[in-house]
C-alpha cells in the first residue's frame, strides 16, 4: 500500500488555502481594476473634458472677436471688449499650456496617456497639439499687437478679423486633437476594462478548477479509506472477523486505522480468549461429570458391588468441590466485570484459611506438592469467601505452571499492619510475559496434570479480590527459573 | 484373553477405569493408556477411544498413526470439548463420543466394534509401531 505522508489536515488546509488565495486575488484584482477605472475617469474629467470645455469658451471668444472685427468697418469697435475676449483666450492658452498640454505634462496620468497614445499609434497627435497651441499663441500675439495700436481707430480694429479667423481655426484644430484624445482614452479605458474582465474570469476559473482538483484529490485520499474503515468495523460487528486494514503512512486516517486495527485486534483477542476460556470451562465441567455420571450409573446398575459404589461416592465428593470452586470463579469473575463484587468483611484466620485451601488444591492436583510456612500469619479483616477463592485461584495457578515434581512454597509474612502471602515456585518453561497475560480477564492456563483438572483460571479475579480488600497482587521473577506471586493485604 | 480389545487413550484415570468396568464384563479386554505413545504399543485393538485434550499430544497426529497401525479398528474421538463433531473432523475422524455419555452408548459402541473387527494374523506389535510423537497443544 502506498505510503501517505501528507496529513489530512494539510490536504484540507491546502484546499482552503487555494480557495482563499483565489478569492484574495479576485478581490485584489477587483480593487486594482476599480482604482484604475476611477483614475481613468478622473483623468477624463480633469483633463480631457475640462480642456474641451475651456476650448469651447475660447472658440466662442474667438468667434466674438471675429464678429466684432467684421462690424468695425461700419461702426466704431469696442476695443476694450475685444481686448477682454483676447485676454480670455490668452488666459485659456496659459492654463492649457500649464495644466493640460500633453507634451509638457509629466504627471502619472499624462505618462499613462502617452503610453495609450503610443499603443494606439497616434503619437503624432501630440505634435498636432503643439502646432495648434503655437498657432493659437501666434494669432493671439498678432491680435494683441493690433489691438494695442488701434485705440479708437476702426481700420486697425478691422484688421484683427483675419487674425481672429486664424485664431478660431487654430482653436478648432486644437479641439479636434482633444476629440481624438477622448476617443483614444475611451478606447484605452474600454480595453483595460475588457482585460480586467477577462483576467477576472481566468483567475476565477483557474481558482475554481484548482479547488475542484484539490477537492477531488482530498476526497479520493479520504473518502475511500473512511468507507473502508466503516466497512471493516461493520464487518467486525456483524461477523466478529477482523482483517487488518494495514494502513501505512503517518496521516490522521492511517493513525485512526491503526488505532482501529489495534482496538479490533484487542477485542478479537479478548473474544478468542473468552471463547477459549469458555471451551476450557465447558471441558472442565464435562470431564468430571463424565466420571460422576458414569460411576453413579454403574453403581446403580450394580448395587451389589461395594467397590464401585465407594468409588462413585468418592468421585462425587472430590469433583463436586472442584466444580463448586470453578462455578464460584465464573460467578465472581462475572461480578467483577460488572463492578459488583460482593464484599462482606469479617475477622479471618489467614493461616487456617491457607492450610485449608492448600489441602483442597492438593487433593484435586495429586501431582503437586505444597510446603507451607504459615505459622506467623495472624488474623485479618477480609471477606472469607472471596479470600478463600483468591487463595485457591492463586495456588491452583501456581500448581498449574510450576514444574512437575518441584515444591510450591507458600509463606505468610506479617509486615507493618499488612499480611503478605508469598507463593514461590520454579517454572523455567513459563516466560515472564506469560505471567502478565494471566492477569487479563478470562485468561486461562493449561498444563500437564494427572487425573482431574487440566487447566486453571487466570489471576484477574485474584487481583480484583485483592483490590477490593485494599491490597494488591504482584507477579515477580526473582531468578531465571523462579516465579513468585505475592498477595499483599491490610491486616 | 479375548481376541479383541478396546484401547482407551485418556490421561484421566477415572475415565480409563470407567471404560474398563463397563467393557470387561462383556469379555472384551480394555487397554488403558495415559498417552498416545503408550496406546500405539497396544495390539488386538477393535476400538480406540481417543481423548482430544491431552497434555503434550497432538490428537490429529495420534489419530493418523492409530489409523495406520490398528487396521480395521474403529477409532472414536471421545471428548468433553465443545462441538465434538468439529473436533473429530479436525483430527480426521468421522466418529465421536461426547462426554459425558450414557453407559449404554458405550456398550453399543463396543459391541458394534467387536462384531465388525477382523483379528490380525499376529498378536505382537511390530517394533516400528513404537513411534515418537510431536508435542501438541493438548
What is residue A424's predicted lDDT score, i.e. its pLDDT?
A: 93
Which chain A residues are Cβ-neighbours of B21 within 8 angstroms? 298, 308
Min distance A293 CA to chain B CA atoms (Å): 7
Which of residues A176, A191, A217 is at a domain's end? Answer: A217
**Structural contact between residues A443 and A273, judged by C-beta atoms closer than 8 angstroms:** yes
* A454 contacts B82? CB cut-off 8 A: no
Q: Is residue A49 part of a domain?
A: yes
How many angstroms separate the CA atoms of A458 and A437, rounded? 8
How many domains are contained in chain A? 2
CATH of the domain at A460: 3.30.565.10
Helix ranges restricted to H, A240-305: 252-301
First to last CA, chain A: 59
Whether A119 maps to a domain, the answer reads: yes
Residue-level pLDDT at B125: 42
For the stretch A30-37, contacts whose Cβ atoms lie closer than 8 Å and that sit 24 or more positions apart, written own/partner, are A30/A200, A33/A192, A33/A193, A33/A196, A33/A200, A36/A192, A36/A196, A37/A189, A37/A192, A37/A193, A37/A196
B18:A291 CB<8 A: yes
> Cβ contacts (< 8 Å) between B79 and chain A: which residues?
283
Residue of B nearest to A286 (CA): B80
CA neighbor of A21 nearest in space, from A177, A196, A214, A180 = A214
- Looking at the domain assignment, is residue A373 inside a domain? yes
- Which residue matches cell numbers 490536504? A11
- Angstroms from A454 CA to nearest CA on chain B: 8
Q: 491457607: which residue's cell?
A: A354
Helix, strand and coil percent figures for chain B, each rounded to 5: 40, 20, 40
Establish if A79 belongs to a structural domain: yes
Which of A282, A290, A297 is opposite residue B15, by nearest beta carbon? A290
Q: Which residues pair with B78 in a beta bridge?
A: B51, B97
Which residue, of A217, A236, A253, is where some domain finishes?
Answer: A217
Q: pLDDT tens, A345-354? A: 899 999 999 9
Residue positions counted in chain B? 138
Residues A171-192: tens digit of each pLDDT: 999 999 988 988 888 888 888 8
- For residues B8 and B19, the answer to whether their CB atoms sit within 8 Å is yes
Determine whether the interchain pair A289/B99 forms a contact, defined as Cβ–Cβ distance below 8 Å: yes
Q: What is the pLDDT of residues B45-81, one digit of tens each?
A: 889 999 887 766 788 888 888 888 777 789 999 988 8
Contact (Cβ atoms closer than 8 angstroms) between residue B97 and residue B78: yes
Angstrom distance (rounded) from CA A381 to CA A419? 11
Set of chain A residues whose Cβ sits within 8 Å of the Cβ of B81 = 279, 282-283
| HSE toward the beta carbon, residue A466, CA cutoff 13 A | 23
Instruction: State residue A321's pLDDT score.
Output: 78
The answer to whether residues A212 and A345 belong to one domain is no
Q: What are the residues of chain B with a beta carbon less than 8 Å away from any beta carbon of chain A?
A: 11-15, 17-18, 21-22, 53, 55-56, 79-82, 99-103, 137-138
Is the CB of B100 less than 8 angstroms away from the CB of A308?
no
Task: Please list every residue in chain B whose beta carbon sits closer than 8 Å to the beta carbon of residue A301.
Answer: 103
pLDDT of residue B36: 75
Contact B80 A448 (CB under 8 A): no
From A220's Cα to the closest Cα of chain B, the distance in A is 45
Name all domains of chain B by residue range, CATH numbers in brackets. 5-119 (3.40.50.2300)
pTM above 0.90, yes or no: no
Q: How far is CA A14 from the centre of its chain?
A: 12
Give the residue from chain B lying closest to A452, CA to CA. Answer: B12
Partner-chain contact A286 B100, CB within 8 Å: yes
Q: B113 to chain A, minimum CA–CA distance in Å?
A: 20
Kindly determine whether residue A308 and residue B21, on different chains, have CB atoms separated by under 8 Å.
yes
**Grid cell for residue A202:** 481566468
Distance from CA of A279 to the nearest CA of B (A): 6
- Measured in whole angstroms, the distance separating CA A146 from the mean position of its chain's CA atoms is 89
- Closest chain A residue to B15 measured between Cα atoms? A291
Between A and B, how many residue pairs show a Cβ–Cβ distance under 8 A? 75
CB atoms within 10 A of CB A22: 19
Residues with Cβ within 8 Å of residue B31, at least 6 apart in sequence: B5, B6, B7, B8, B39, B42, B45
Please determine, for the modelled complex, whether the ipTM score is greater than 0.90. no
Last residue of a domain, one of A196, A217, A238: A217
* CB contact (8 A) between residue A449 and residue B102: no
Min distance A298 CA to chain B CA atoms (Å): 8
Task: Indicate whether A56 and A191 sit together in one domain.
Answer: yes
Q: Are residues A209 and A354 in the same domain?
A: no
pLDDT of residue A449: 44
Residue A266 in domain: no
Q: For chain A, list residues whose CB is within 8 angstroms of any CB belonging to chain B.
A: 278-279, 282-283, 285-287, 289-295, 297-298, 301, 308, 311, 315, 446-452, 454
Q: Do A211 and A356 belong to one domain?
A: no
Burial (CB count <10 Å: 0-12, 13-18, 19+), residue A167: buried
Distance from CA of A287 to the nearest CA of B (A): 6
| A209 & A74 share domain | yes
Which residues on A lie below 8 Å from B100 (Cβ)? 286, 289-290, 292-294
Residue A257 lies in a domain: no
Nearest CA-CA partner of A450 in B53, B12, B56 = B12
Residue A123, in any domain of the structure: yes
A286 closest CB neighbour out of B14, B56, B80? B80
Nearest residue in B to A285, CA atom: B80
**Chain A residues close to B14, C-beta within 8 Å:** 291, 295, 315, 451-452
Rg (C-alpha) for chain A, rounded Å, is 56
- Residues of the domain holding A92: 8-217
Q: Which of A275, A289, A294, A448 to mutate to test the interface with B (most CBs of B within 10 A)?
A: A294
Of B18, B53, B55, the CB nearest to A283: B53
Q: Is residue B135 a contact partner of residue B57, using CB atoms and an 8 Å limit?
A: yes
* Residue A36 forms part of a structural domain: yes
**Cα separations (Å) of A447 from A143, A222, A412, B12, B49?**
134, 49, 26, 14, 22
| Residues with pLDDT less than 50, chain A | 1-3, 447-453
**pLDDT at B127 > cutoff 50:** no
Burial of A403 (0-12, 13-18, 19+ CB in 10 A): middle
Query: How high is the pLDDT of residue A295?
Result: 92
If asked whether residues A28 and A166 sit together in one domain, one would say yes
Q: Tell me how many degrees the CA angle A269-A273-A279 measures, rounded to the nearest 5.
A: 145
Is residue B53 within 8 A of residue B81, CB to CB? The reply is yes
Amino acid at each position: 500500500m502506498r505510503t501517505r505522508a501528507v496529513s489530512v489536515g494539510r490536504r484540507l488546509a491546502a484546499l482552503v488555502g487555494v480557495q482563499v488565495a483565489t478569492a484574495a486575488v479576485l478581490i485584489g484584482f477587483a480593487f486594482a481594476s476599480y482604482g484604475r477605472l476611477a483614475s481613468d475617469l478622473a483623468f477624463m474629467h480633469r483633463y480631457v473634458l475640462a480642456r474641451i470645455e475651456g476650448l469651447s469658451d475660447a472658440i466662442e471668444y474667438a468667434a466674438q472677436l471675429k464678429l466684432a472685427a467684421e462690424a468695425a468697418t461700419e461702426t466704431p469697435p469696442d476695443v476694450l471688449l475685444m481686448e477682454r475676449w483676447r485676454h480670455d483666450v490668452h488666459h485659456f492658452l496659459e492654463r492649457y499650456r500649464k495644466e493640460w498640454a500633453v507634451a509638457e505634462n509629466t504627471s502619472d496620468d499624462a505618462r499613462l496617456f502617452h503610453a495609450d497614445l503610443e499603443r494606439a499609434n497616434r503619437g503624432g497627435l501630440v505634435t498636432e497639439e503643439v502646432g495648434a497651441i503655437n498657432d493659437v499663441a501666434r494669432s493671439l500675439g498678432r491680435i494683441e499687437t493690433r489691438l494695442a495700436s488701434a485705440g479708437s481707430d476702426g481700420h486697425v480694429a478691422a484688421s484683427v478679423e483675419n487674425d481672429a479667423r486664424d485664431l478660431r481655426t487654430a482653436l478648432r484644430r486644437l479641439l479636434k486633437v482633444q476629440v481624438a484624445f477622448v476617443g483614444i482614452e475611451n478606447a484605452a479605458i474600454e480595453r483595460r476594462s475588457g482585460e480586467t474582465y477577462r483576467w477576472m474570469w481566468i483567475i476565477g476559473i483557474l481558482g475554481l478548477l484548482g479547488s475542484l482538483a484539490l477537492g477531488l484529490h482530498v476526497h479520493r485520499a479520504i473518502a475511500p479509506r473512511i468507507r473502508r474503515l466503516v466497512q471493516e468495523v461493520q464487518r467486525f460487528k456483524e461477523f466478529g472477523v477482523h482483517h487488518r486494514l494495514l494502513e501505512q503512512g503517518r496521516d490522521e486516517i492511517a493513525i485512526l486505522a491503526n488505532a482501529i486495527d489495534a482496538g479490533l485486534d484487542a477485542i478479537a483477542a479478548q473474544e478468542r480468549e473468552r471463547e477459549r476460556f469458555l471451551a476450557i470451562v465447558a471441558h472442565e465441567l464435562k470431564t468430571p461429570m463424565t466420571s460422576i455420571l458414569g460411576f453413579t450409573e454403574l453403581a446403580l446398575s450394580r448395587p451389589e458391588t461395594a467397590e464401585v459404589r465407594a468409588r462413585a461416592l468418592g468421585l462425587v465428593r472430590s469433583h463436586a468441590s472442584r466444580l463448586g470452586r470453578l462455578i464460584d470463579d465464573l460467578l465472581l469473575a462475572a461480578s467483577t466485570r460488572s463492578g459488583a463484587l460482593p464484599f462482606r468483611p469479617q475477622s479471618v484466620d489467614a493461616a487456617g484459611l491457607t492450610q485449608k485451601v492448600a489441602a483442597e488444591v492438593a487433593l484435586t492436583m495429586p501431582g503437586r506438592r505444597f510446603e507451607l510456612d504459615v505459622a506467623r500469619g495472624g488474623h485479618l479483616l477480609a471477606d472469607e469467601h472471596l479470600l478463600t477463592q483468591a487463595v485457591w485461584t492463586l495456588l491452583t495457578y501456581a500448581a498449574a505452571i510450576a514444574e512437575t515434581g518441584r515444591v510450591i512454597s507458600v509463606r505468610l509474612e506479617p509486615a507493618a499492619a499488612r499480611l503478605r502471602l508469598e507463593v514461590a515456585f520454579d517454572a523455567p518453561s513459563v516466560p515472564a510475559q506469560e505471567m502478565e497475560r494471566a492477569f487479563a480477564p478470562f485468561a486461562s492456563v493449561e498444563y500437564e496434570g494427572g487425573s482431574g483438572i487440566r487447566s486453571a483460571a487466570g489471576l484477574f479475579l485474584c487481583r480484583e479480590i485483592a483490590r477490593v480488600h485494599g491490597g494488591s497482587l504482584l507477579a515477580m521473577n526473582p531468578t531465571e527459573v523462579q516465579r513468585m506471586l505475592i498477595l499483599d493485604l491490610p491486616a | 484373553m479375548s481376541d479383541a480389545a478396546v484401547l482407551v487413550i485418556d490421561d484421566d484415570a477415572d475415565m480409563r477405569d470407567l471404560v474398563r468396568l463397563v467393557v470387561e464384563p462383556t469379555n472384551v479386554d480394555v487397554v488403558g493408556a495415559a498417552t498416545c505413545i503408550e496406546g500405539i504399543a497396544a495390539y488386538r485393538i477393535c476400538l480406540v477411544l481417543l481423548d482430544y485434550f491431552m497434555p503434550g499430544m497432538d490428537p490429529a497426529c495420534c489419530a493418523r498413526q492409530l489409523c495406520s497401525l490398528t487396521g480395521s479398528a474403529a477409532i472414536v474421538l471421545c471428548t468433553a470439548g465443545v462441538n465434538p463433531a468439529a473436533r473429530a473432523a479436525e483430527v480426521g475422524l468421522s466418529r465421536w463420543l461426547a462426554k459425558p455419555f450414557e453407559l449404554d452408548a458405550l456398550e453399543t459402541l463396543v459391541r458394534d466394534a467387536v462384531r465388525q473387527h477382523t483379528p490380525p494374523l499376529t498378536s505382537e506389535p511390530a517394533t516400528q509401531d513404537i513411534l515418537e510423537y510431536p508435542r501438541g497443544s493438548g
